[in-house]
Amino acid sequence: MENKLHTSLSALPDQSRLIVKYSGDALTDGVMDIEDLAPALSALRRTIVISAGALNSADTDPHVFISAETRAGSFEFIVIAAQALTNMLLANADHIKSSVEVVKTVFGEGGVVELIKMVGGKRDEDVHQAPLPDGDIAINVSGSNNSISVTKNVFVLSKNTAVREALWEAVEPLTKPGIASVSFDPPDSHVDVSTNDATSFRLPSVTLTNKDEFAKSSVIVTVIKPAFAEGRRWRLLLGDKPIGALMEDKVFQSKVMRREILFGTGDKLRVELATRTHKKKETEYFIERVHEVIRPPEQLGMSG
């Protein structure tokens, strides 16, 4: 396994390191409860993979590795983000962001994490933004000295629902007793998130507006096209209305990928569908659970 990891990593020339450290009284022995760590690690991976896909228009194939190191009073590890081009003709493309750029856009100074720390949970009318001559965006909060200048990429990623949900899971250990902070150290940068900051990442207040409306319902949808890449939406029909929905039922998705559950275009799913209706944006859809696959009668007869 060790040689395989080394070979896989060495085959990816575009790499960046992110040092992540959880600290607090609960970590005095240099160990961390796997119940807290495992979801956080998965969330960090999703954050990087989704961000790389968003910044590079899916023109790279991102990978994430980990190297752990424990110390008294903290649990520290190195997340290694790496990429391979999906097409070598893109090697000199101006829009391709390196792994270093991806990691710093999210976790570096002036990045997505710092922006969410500042505006998370604030009222929409209290958060102000203005374009700057160099193309950056100035953001400030009314009634405070909180202000930050961010790039357009940082601003766009900060509104990416999948990125925000993953970041919340990465900082969620701070809500557990004895874990006081988590720090992120991409190249030449350092960002801390404390227990007091964690509430800024909690959904649904993680969005830049507090006027979102949420609803859940059990419905039947028709499959147009499934999606298995991180952050990609399933194309479905809700009645006669085409929608895109993020698949949150990871158990169902895993069974589909292992071919334990088979279905095709035109088949129907009975699902628990969550909707997030924004005041100024399109409604977002999330499949929280798939209850069953409903196939046409002729397919059922053939399989029997």
Burial classification of residue 142, based on how many CB atoms lie within 10 Å of its CB (0-12 exposed, 13-18 middle, 19 or more buried): exposed
Distance of CA 99 to the CA centre of its chain: 16
Query: Which pLDDT value is given to residue 300?
Result: 37
CA distance 136 to 197: 24
Query: Which pLDDT value is given to residue 190?
Result: 95
CB-based contact 59:85 (threshold 8 Å): yes
Is the pLDDT assigned to residue 5 strictly greater than 50?
A: no
CA distance 246 to 235: 9
CA distance 141 to 235: 37
Q: Kindly report the pTM of this predicted structure.
A: 0.64
Query: Which pLDDT value is given to residue 280?
Result: 59
Query: Which pLDDT value is given to residue 279?
Result: 61
Q: Among the residues of the chain, which ranges form H helices?
A: 2-10, 34-55, 99-107, 112-119, 152-158, 161-171, 195-198, 250-257, 297-303
Average pLDDT of the chain, as a whole number? 82
Window from 33-42, 82-91, 254-263 with minimum mean pLDDT:
82-91
Query: Which pLDDT value is given to residue 209?
Result: 40
CA distance 234 to 211: 26
Query: Which pLDDT value is given to residue 10?
Result: 67
Mean pLDDT of 103-118: 94
Amino acid at 217: S
Tokens of 86: 């999906």
CA distance 294 to 267: 6
Is the pLDDT assigned to residue 54 strictly greater than 50?
A: yes
pLDDT band at 257 (very low <50, low <70, confident <90, very high): confident
Is the pLDDT assigned to residue 100 strictly greater than 50?
A: yes
Query: Which pLDDT value is given to residue 302?
Result: 34
Around Cβ 85, how many Cβ atoms within 10 Å?
16
Over residues 158-170, the pLDDT tens digits come to 888 888 888 999 9
Is the pLDDT assigned to residue 207 strictly greater than 70?
A: no
CA distance 79 to 268: 39
pLDDT band at 212 (very low <50, low <70, confident <90, very high): low
Mean pLDDT of 137-141: 90
Tokens of 157: 């990623």
Nearest residue to 229 via CA among 59, 20, 10, 79: 59
Mean pLDDT of 273-286: 78
Query: Which pLDDT value is given to residue 20?
Result: 94
Q: Are strands 284-294 and 268-277 parallel, antiparallel or unpaired?
A: antiparallel
